[in-house]
Chain A
Amino acid sequence: MSDKAPNGKKKMAVGWFSFTCCEDSTVLFTELLNENYDEWRKLVNFQHVKALKTDNKLEGLDVAFVEGAISAPSQEKELKEIRANAKYLVAIGSCASTGLPSASRNEFSEDDKTDRIRWYFETFDYGEKVKRLDEVVKVDDYVKGCPMNVDVFLGVLTKYLQKFGLVDKDVTS
């Protein structure tokens, strides 16, 4: 597979990442492939997409699409690595954009925290609170919705394809 788009430019290197969430937007992303796979393959290098491949590469991403909220220090570290390796970062879906509903536990009172909940907090590296992405890193664009709004996602994708000179602004506007 060539790394060049039909117009001779380098394909846009894309990553798709998931943190704490139900991955509903990943499901919609795989549904979008039904109609768009052949066209996107010509323009996009799916460089880091765990839903699709094992051989993933973080370095040199043009756009990172990130789904899910941040539950733990280890996830914060991973998100910062993604940010450091991507020119642009887009928050995908409600948990990434607003924290909710994954951040429901932020509202728990001390009484709500049962022994079972405390056991998980003590056994694994849960952060004190669940964070939305922009509490940890700079976010360039948001695709809100639970799951993500597909039309907004397609608009954001097109915006970046235009920015990297892969589609003509006049044609897609």
Chain B
Amino acid sequence: MWRLIAGKNQKPLDCHASLAVPWNNKMHSGNITIENITKVEGSAGLEVTVENGQVKDLKFKIQDYRRFYTDAVKGKPFISVPLFLSRICGTCSVAHLFASIKAIEKTQGIEVSEQTKILRRLAYDALMIRDHALHLYFFVLPDVLGIDSILDIPEDHDNPAHILLHDSFDIKKVGSKISEAIIGAVVHAPYPTPGGFIKLPDDSIFPELIEDLEKIRPQVIRGIKFFANWKEEFIRNSDYLALSSNERYAFLEGDVVNSSGRRVGEDNFYDFLRSVVIPYSQAEGYVFSDVHEDYFVGSLARLNFNKDKLNEFTKRDIAKYLDLFPSDNIHHNDLAQAIEILHCVDDAIDILKNLKIKDEKPIRKAPQKGRGVGVVEAPRGILYHMAETDEKGMIVDYDVIVPTSQNQINIENDLKKYFNENIGTKSREELKFDAEKIIRAYDPCMSCATNFLKMEWIDS
């Protein structure tokens, strides 16, 4: 299944002028190469081989060059590792930071205070608010409007798109402001550390943050309504994987669950999976270890499993949109993200209203040998860090599994289904745009969600 096709010597034709021509039944064999889907925090491409109107082969290729950070941390003291590994990803930086801290704390047998847990939850709410808003409004909003970019939105203050774009600025700004107040920065935050926080937030700013959150709440709800009204649909009955907790809507704790009802602790997360080497991609893919089937991770998985655990105010104010879940429509991942923004706004308000900061230092212990797993929900899906230390607290082994790798095979199988159902009936422009929209719905990290597709057609 995972093999390179003999496309190396094929020469792309200059056929840009004919991109709008329907790919009719007389022309249903050949290759479609989409170069530079740039970025899942880097770049990606899509290559489709079609024979007799059906997809013969399809490759979603993650082309970002590896930095081998999990090898680079070997031999380093554990304390330095989380902030270094936050550099795996700019937009998911806080997710990597917290997953790494969790894994390291387990290697050292460190149990953190309740205050630390609550502050991490608050910081995570801020991450989700900012990151989801970036994806939804900067990358997906143009898809909904049928334009290339937010830069094409008219500068008319009464235009609904203009209003939504400026909503996004306000929403992102509040997420960033909370991040700066609680963990010291939007990305590569300096305050969190194994055992707690090296600097605690000043709670005198909390009333101002509550006011900011309450101000953006109606704007967030406006976004939910907007994305709920987008009738785009693509369904392939995926399986799902997410964290789930009996206590709350889970981002930072809980068991790992899948749609078959299998439930394991985070330490056994890896047992769930089987890695698949994809020779044309710089990232490994993953399938379930038992049934060898692909799966989806992200907001849609979380909401499908955990919607009853959303904040009570969130559930009260958007009940009719929650009725759409569980859903198998991949484009409902966007709506799920919009809903998660509201949940995080409400959760953050709750925390800020009830939290009084007490002075405490990070918990420190003598270094020890150990192995620890930290699993969290990054904005775009479940994220795994595994650390192993020697008796001096130096890293001897480290592993990371990111959401976009896990979604890679699911993306390919979605696209195969899409192309098989639509080749011959849709124009090349439509095929290209719809494929972009499906990939973007996965929110495969930041700029990867845009700039897709310098699309070239190659005759077989």
Residues of A that sit less than 8 Å from B by CB: 1, 18, 20-28, 30-31, 33-35, 37-38, 41, 46, 50-56, 71-72, 75, 101-102, 104-105, 107-108, 112, 114, 117, 120, 123-124, 126, 146-147
The answer to whether the Cβ of B116 comes within 8 Å of any Cβ in the partner chain is no
Closest partner residue, chain A, to B282 (CB atom): A124
Q: How far is the CB of B264 from chain A (nearest CB, A)?
A: 26
Closest A residue to B36 by CB, please name it. Answer: A50
Tell me whether B186 and A28 are in contact (CB under 8 A).
yes
Residues of B within 8 A of A24 (CB): 87, 90, 93, 187-188
Check B308 for interface membership: any CB of A closer than 8 A: no
Check if B447 sits within 8 Å of A108, measured CB to CB: no
Contact partners of B65 in chain A: CB under 8 A: 20, 71-72, 75, 124, 126
13 cross-chain CB contacts under 8 A: A1-B152, A23-B39, A23-B90, A25-B90, A50-B38, A50-B447, A53-B149, A54-B453, A55-B148, A71-B65, A72-B65, A75-B65, A105-B72
On chain A, the residues within 8 Å of B134 by CB distance are 27, 30
A120 touches B66 (CB 8 A): yes
Top 9 A-B pairs ranked by shortest CB distance?
A: A24-B90, A50-B451, A53-B149, A71-B65, A51-B447, A104-B72, A34-B169, A23-B90, A22-B90
Shortest A60–chain B CB gap in Å is 17
Say whether B67 contacts A105, CB under 8 Å: yes
B binding-site residues for A, Cβ under 8 Å: 38-39, 41-42, 64-69, 71-72, 74, 84, 87-91, 93, 130, 134, 138, 148-152, 155, 165, 169-170, 172-173, 176, 186-188, 279, 282, 436, 446-447, 450-453
Q: How far is B84's CA from A24's CA once the two chains are assembled, in angstroms?
A: 13
Using Cβ atoms and an 8 Å threshold, which residues of chain B touch A21? 90
B447 to chain A: closest residue by CB: A51
- Please tell me if the beta carbons of A147 and B450 are within 8 angstroms of each other in the complex: no
Known: A23-B41, A101-B67. A41 touches B446 (CB 8 A): no
The reply to whether B90 and A53 form a contact with Cβ atoms under 8 Å apart is no
For residue A71, which residues in chain B have a CB less than 8 angstroms away from its CB? 65
Contact status B172-A34, CB under 8 Å: yes
Residues on A with C-beta less than 8 A from B42 are: 18, 20, 23
Please tell me if the beta carbons of B69 and A104 are within 8 angstroms of each other in the complex.
yes
* B186 near A27: Cβ-Cβ < 8 Å: yes
- Additional A-B contact list (16), CB under 8 Å, known A27-B187, A114-B71: A20-B65, A20-B67, A23-B91, A24-B87, A24-B187, A27-B186, A28-B187, A34-B176, A41-B155, A46-B151, A51-B446, A51-B451, A52-B450, A53-B149, A55-B149, A104-B68
Task: Report the nearest B residue to A103, measured CB to CB.
Answer: B67
With a CB–CB cut-off of 8 A, which chain B residues contact A104?
67-69, 72
Whole-angstrom distance between the Cβ of A27 and the nearest chain B Cβ: 4
Is B68 touching A108 in the complex (CB atoms < 8 A)? yes
A27 engages B91 (CB within 8 Å) = yes
B399 to chain A: closest CB distance in Å?
11
In whole angstroms, how far apart are the Cα atoms of A134 and B87 in the complex? 22
A52 touches B150 (CB 8 A): yes
Q: What residues of B have a CB within 8 angstroms of the CB of A38 in the complex? A: 155
Considering the complex, give the chain B residue whose CB is closest to the CB of A20. Answer: B65
Q: Of B66, B148, B173, B186, which is in contact with the most chain A CB atoms at under 10 Å from its CB?
A: B66
CA A52 – CA B452 in complex, angstroms? 11
Max count, chain B CB within 10 A of own CB: residue among A38, A120, A147: A147
Residues on B with beta carbons closer than 8 Å to the beta carbon of A120: 66, 282
A56-B450 Cα distance, complex, nearest whole Å = 11
Closest Cβ of chain A to B213, distance in Å, is 16
A26 touches B90 (CB 8 A): yes
Given contacts A18-B39, A24-B93, A33-B169, contact A50 B450 (CB under 8 A): yes
> B394 CB to closest chain A CB, in angstroms?
15
- Judging by beta carbons under 8 Å apart, are A31 and B69 in contact? no
* Residues in B whose Cβ lies below 8 Å from that of A26: 90, 446-447
CB <8 Å contact, B138 and A51:
yes
Q: Select which of A1, A126, A147 is within 8 A of B90 by beta carbon.
A: A147
Is B39 a contact partner of A50 (Cβ separation < 8 A)? yes
**Cβ contact within 8 Å between A31 and B176:** yes
* Contact assessment for A18 and B451 in the assembled complex, using a CB-CB cutoff below 8 Å: no
B282 pairs with A31, CB closer than 8 A:
no
Contact A30 B138 (CB under 8 A): yes
State the Cβ distance, A117 to closest chain B Cβ, in Å. 6
Shortest C-beta distance, A104 to chain B (Å), equals 4
On whether the beta carbons of B69 and A101 are closer than 8 Å, the reply is yes
Contacts of B172 in A (CB 8 A): 30-31, 34
Give the complex CA separation of A122 and B307 in angstroms: 46
Instruction: Indicate the member of A20, A22, A34 with the most B CB atoms within 10 Å.
Output: A22
C-alpha gap A24/B185 in the complex (Å): 11
Contacting pair B89 A22 (CB below 8 A): yes
Chain A: CB-nearest residue to B453: A54
Bound complex: CA A147 to CA B201 (Å)? 22
- Alpha-carbon separation in the docked complex, A31 to B173 (Å): 7
